[in-house]
Structure 1
Amino acid sequence: MPGPLDGFRVVDLTTMVSGPLGSMILADQGADVVKVEMPRGGDHTRQVATRRNGYSASFLNNNRNKRSIALDLKTPDGLEAVKRLVREADVFLQNFRPGVTDRLGLGYEDLRAINPRLVYVSIAGFGFEGPFAGKPVFDPLIQSLSGLTTVQAGSDEDRPRLVRTILPDKLTGFAMSQAVCAALLARSRSGEGQHVRLSMLDTVLAFLWSSDMGGHTFVGDEMEKEAAQSWIDLIYETKDGYISVAVMRHKEWLGLAEAAERPEWTEDPRFQDSESLDRHKHARLELTQEVLRERTTAEWIDRLEAAGVPCAPVLTRREAIRHPQVQANGIVFENDHPAAGRLRQARNPAQFSATPNEHRFGAPALGGQTREILAEAGYSPAEIEALIEAGAAAEPKRAGPQGTGEDAA
C-alpha cells in the first residue's frame, strides 16, 4: 500500500534545510518530489562536511525519496523546462529571497496562469515585507531576532544562548509540510490552488507563543523583563552523570521528598502547593541539585520511578539511539544507498496504519533523473539531448542507477 500522498507531484526548488526537510516529509509520505537543482554544485548541503563517497550526511538526511533534475534557471530553456514540469504538478516549493522568482518568471501569478490548481509555497527567512525581508538569513539570525536566544538563556538578564541545533530551519520544514497538506485538502473542495507563504521568523514566534510568551499575552499587563523559568534548570548532576527530574506539581514534590529521604521538605512552608513551588523555584532547585549528587543516575531512576516522579537519564546522541525505548519505537532504521553505502536514519515520525510511509530510494545524485523527468514532461530524446548539449540541463558525469553518480556535468 503506497503512502498517503501517493499520486501527488511536487516540484521543489528549495535548498539548504527548511524546504528540503519539508519536501522530504512529503516524499516519505508518498509524494513524487522532483528536486530542481542548478547543474554546477546543486543544493549547497551537497558540499558540506561529514561525507562519504561524494555525499554529505546533511544532504542524505534531508533529501531521500526524491528525484533530481539539473536545470540552469539562468537560461530560457531551463526556465521553460521548469514551467513544463509545473503543468502537471500539484505543488511548487521555493525559498529564494522575496522577489527573485517574480524576476525569473516563476512567481505565483506566472505559474498560476499555467496551472490554476497549483499549490504554490514560498518560504522566507525574516518575512516577505518589512525592513529585514531582503536580507540574507541563516538560522542563528532567526534565533536572535525572534527572542529564542533569550528564552534559551533563561531570563533577560542572562547572556543570550543559541539552541545548538538549527531549530528555526527544521520547525519551518515541518510547518511547511503541514501547510501543503492543508492546501491540498482545500483544493480538493474548491478545485483551485493557492499561494501559501511562511517565514522562519513567523514559525519560531508561533512556536514560542504556546509556552514561552505568557508574559506578553495579556494586553496591558506585559512583563518588562523575563525572569528565569524553572523548566530551563531541570538537568541535574548525579554522582556519576546527569539526570532530568520534572517536578511540576505538588504531588511530585512530595514524591521527590520521599525518594530523597527528606521528610522535612513536605513541611517546608515554601513548598505547600504548586503555586508556591513555582514562586520559590530557585530554592527548590538548589535543594534538588544538592541531594541528587548523593547517588548515581541509575539509583535515582529506580527511586524516583518508585515514588512516581517523572525522570529520565541524560544521554549522548550515541547512547540515545541505542536506548531500549528508542529501539522499541523503531524511529531509527538502516538502509543501503547505492553510492554512500549503509546509512542510519530516522524515519518520518508519523505512522499511518492504512497508508504507511515507504523508504523507496535514497537521496539522488545531482541530475540523476534529468532524462526521465524531462521525458515525463513530454520532451523527446532529441530535445533532451539538445538541452544537455546546450547546458540548460545536466545529468551526472558517470551514469548509473537511480541515486548514484557524482556532480552533474
Structure 2
Amino acid sequence: MSAQPLVGLEVVECSTFVAGPSCGMTLAQLGADVVRVDLPGGGSDFGRWPLSATGESLYWTNLNKGKRSVAIDYRTPAGRELLTAFTTRTGDHRGVYVDNVVGRHRLRHDDLAALRSDMITVHVEGFADGRPAVDYTVNASIGIATMTGPDFLDTPVNHVLPAWDLLTGMHAAVGVLASLERRRTTGEGSAINVALYDVAVSAVGALGWFAEAEEAGADRPRHGNHVFGSFGTDFATSDGSRIMVVALTEGQWDALCDVTGTRDVFAALEKALDLDLRQESARYEVRETIASILRPWFIARDLTALRPLLDQARVLWAPYLSVVEAAASARASSDPVLHDVDQPGVGPMPTTVSPLRWAQTERKPALTPRLGADTGPVLAESLGLTDADLGRLAADGVIALTS
C-alpha cells in the first residue's frame, strides 16, 4: 500500500469548535502528525453536545480523530514558552501552526517567525478585523436564511449544518498545503488569516447570488423544496416516504417523463404555454404545474416499487432518510467512509475516514486520544523534558498528564 501523502508532516493545532479542528482533522486523515493543544481540563468545546451515553462529547471526539492530544496552559508564561518552543522546532516537515486563539494569549506569527523565519501560521477568525463570529451569526449575515424555507414564511430559517465552519476548515487546510509548497520553492514562511465571514462572502459570491440580487434589486423569493432555476422537488409516496427528484439536464427530464408516462401530457402543456420543457429555465418557470402533474404517479406507489423503476430509468433521485437510516446506508457501501470503532471513553461509535480516495492507499479509521494523553511523550520527545521536568510542570498546573 502507498503511504498517505502527508506522512512526515507535523502540525500543531491550537483551536476549538469546528473550523480549526476540521482543518487539523483533514490533514491528519491525509497522514500528517497533528498535535492538538488544549488547556488542561479542555477548551470551550471539550464537552459540547452531542454527548455519548458515557457523557463524552461525540462532537469533540469525532473532530479530533487521528490526532495526538497535549494539554498545556499556554495562558501561563511557562506554558506559553513550552508551546512556542514546541511549535518552532527545526525541520523541513515542522513549523506549521493552526489556531483560533483570541486575545493576549494568542501566539502571533511575528513572535514565532522571530524564532523560525520560515514559520507557517494559519489563524482562523470570525471577521477579518478581529470581531467575533460563529457559523450561526455568519449565516444570519449572509442572506441565505431569507431564501430558505417554505414560501409562506416571513421569518428567516436557519440550517443546522455549520457550512461556513467546514468550508473555512477546508480553506485553512488548503492554505497549509499552499504555504508548504511556497516554503519548499522559496524558503519563505507564510502568515495566513482566514475569516468565517470572508469564506461565506466568497462562496455566496462565487455562486452568483450577490450579482443576482443586485441586478434584480430584490432578494430571491423562497421556493420551499423546489430547486432554483431548474426542476427539482420532493414527492410523497404511498407508504409515507418522501423522495427528492431532480431534472437538471435534458436527459434527466426525458428519463422522468418516460418512467412516469407523462411525455404526451407535457407535450400538450408545451403547446398550450408555448414553452420548450427541454430548457431548464422553462421547467423552472412552470415547476409547480410540473409537480402537480407528477404527484399522482408518485403517491400511487411505495418506495419499494419506485426504487427499481427510477433507477432503471436513470432518473436523478434520492429518498429522504433519517440520520439513523443514513448511517446504515453509508455503512453498506463497498468502500465506506463511515466505519465503526471502539472509542475509549465512548465505546462502539461510528466515525469517518477521509472522503479522498487515493489509489492503492487504504483508508483506516482512527481513534481519538483522551484529552492530554500524549502530553508527556510529546514534550519528552520533542523538547527533551525528563520525567522530573514533566512532574514539576504538572505540579505547577502548566501541563496535565493523563495516566
TM range (shorter): 0.7 to 0.9
Distance 1:156 1:182 in 2: 46
CA RMSD of aligned residues (A): 2.6
Residue 159 of structure 1 and its aligned partner are, at CA, apart by 3.3
Q: CA deviation at 1:261?
A: 2.5
Q: 1:156 to 1:316 in 2, by over 3 A?
A: closer
CA distance in structure 2 between the partners assigned to 1:116 and 1:46 by the alignment: 37
Which residue number in structure 2 is paired with residue 405 of structure 1?
none
Q: What does the per-residue CA deviation read over 1:55-81, in whole Å, with 9 as the maximum and x for residues that have no partner? A: 321111100111111111221100000
* Aligned pairs (5 A) from 1:310-329: 310-323=316-329, 326-329=332-335
Please say if residues 35 and 66 of structure 1, whose CA atoms lie closer than 8 Å, have aligned partners that are also in contact.
yes
Q: Quick one: higher RCO (CA 8 Å, sep 6+), 1 or 2?
A: 1
Matched position secondary structure for 1:180: helix
Question: Which residue of the partner structure matches residue 354 of structure 2?
Answer: 348
Distance (Å, rounded) in 2 between the aligned partners of 1:325 and 1:303: 24
1:236 and 2:235 are equivalent in the alignment: yes
Residues 147 and 221 of structure 2 are in contact (CA less than 8 Å); yes or no, is this contact kept in structure 1?
no
Instruction: Find 1:168's aligned residue among 164, 171, 179.
Output: 164
Offset at 1:383?
2.1
Question: How big is each residue's C-alpha offset from its partner over 1:39-60, in whole Å with a ceiling of 9 and x where there is no partner?
Answer: 1333523353422445321111
Paired residue for 1:407? none
CA drift of 1:251 comes to: 4.1
Structure 1 pair 386–337 and aligned structure 2 pair: CA distance change class (3 A): same
Tell me if the contact between 1:257 and 1:266 (Cα under 8 Å) persists in the aligned partners: no
1:221 and 2:215 are equivalent in the alignment: yes
* Structure 2: 5+ residue stretches without partners: none
Q: What residue in structure 2 maps to residue 204 of structure 1?
A: 200
What is the alpha-carbon distance in structure 2 between the residues aligned to residue 226 and residue 319 of structure 1? 33
Q: Is the 8 A contact 1:254 1:266 kept in 2?
A: no
Matched, 1:151 2:151: no
Where 2:227 maps in the other structure, the secondary structure is helix
The answer as to 2:243 corresponding to 1:248 is no
- Give the aligned residue type for 1:383: D
Rounded to whole Å, the distance in 1 between the matches of 2:156 and 2:396 is 51
Shifted more, 197-206 versus 44-53: the winner is 44-53
Maintained 8 Å contact 1:152/1:162 = yes
1:143 alignment partner, SS class: helix
Q: Distance in 1 between matches of 2:134 and 2:233?
A: 29
Work out whether residues 353 and 364 of structure 2, in 8 Å CA contact, stay in contact via their aligned partners in 1.
no
Unaligned stretches of 5+ residues in structure 1? 400-409
Aligned counterpart, 1:192: 188
Amino acid at match of 1:235: D
In 2, Cα distance between equivalents of 1:276 and 1:356? 46
Aligned to 1:58: 59
Specify the code of the residue in structure 2 equivalent to 1:249. Answer: T
Q: Which 10-residue stretch deviates more, 384-393 or 51-60?
A: 51-60
CA distance in 2, matches of 1:287, 1:223: 33
Give CA deviations for 1:222-260 in whole Å, capped at 9, x if unaligned. Answer: 542313464166222121211111112344334323322
Q: How does 1:2-401 map to 2 (within 5 A)?
A: 2-88=3-89, 89-97=94-102, 100=103, 103-104=104-105, 106-125=107-126, 127-129=127-129, 133-135=130-132, 137-153=133-149, 158-211=154-207, 213-214=208-209, 216=211, 221-228=215-222, 230-231=226-227, 234-240=233-239, 241-262=241-262, 263-269=264-270, 270=273, 271-272=275-276, 273-274=278-279, 275-323=281-329, 326-353=332-359, 356-359=362-365, 361-375=366-380, 376-396=382-402, 399=403
Structure 1 length normalisation: TM-score?
A: 0.86
**Could you give the per-residue CA deviations for residues 287-345 of structure 1, whole angstroms, max 9, x where no partner exists?**
33344222222323333334332122222222222237852231111222233222211
SS state at 2:247 partner: coil
> How far apart, CA to CA, are the structure 1 residues paired with 2:344 and 2:330?
30
- Cα drift, residue 373 of structure 1: 1.5
Identity of aligned residues (%): 24
Q: What is the SS of the residue equivalent to 2:392?
A: helix
Q: Aligned partners of 1:358 and 1:252: how far apart in 2? A: 37
Asked if the contact 1:320–1:326 (Cα under 8 Å) also holds between the matched residues in 2, the reply is no
Residue 13 of structure 1, CA deviation: 0.7
CA distance in 1, matches of 2:29, 2:200: 24
Shift of 1:192: 1.4
1:378 offset after TM fit, Å?
2.6
Q: Which of 386-395 and 303-312 deviates more?
A: 303-312
Assess, with a 3 A threshold, how the Cα gap between structure 1 residues 372 and 306 changes in structure 2: closer, same or farther.
Answer: closer
Count of residues paired in the alignment: 385
Counterpart code for 1:188: R
Change (3 A) 1:191 1:62: same
TM value normalised by structure 2: 0.87
Query: Contact 1:243/1:311 (CA < 8 Å) preserved in 2?
Result: yes
Question: Could you tell me which amino acid in structure 2 is paired with residue 280 of structure 1?
Answer: V
Instruction: Give the aligned residue type for 1:160.
Output: P
Q: Which amino acid aligns with 2:29?
A: D
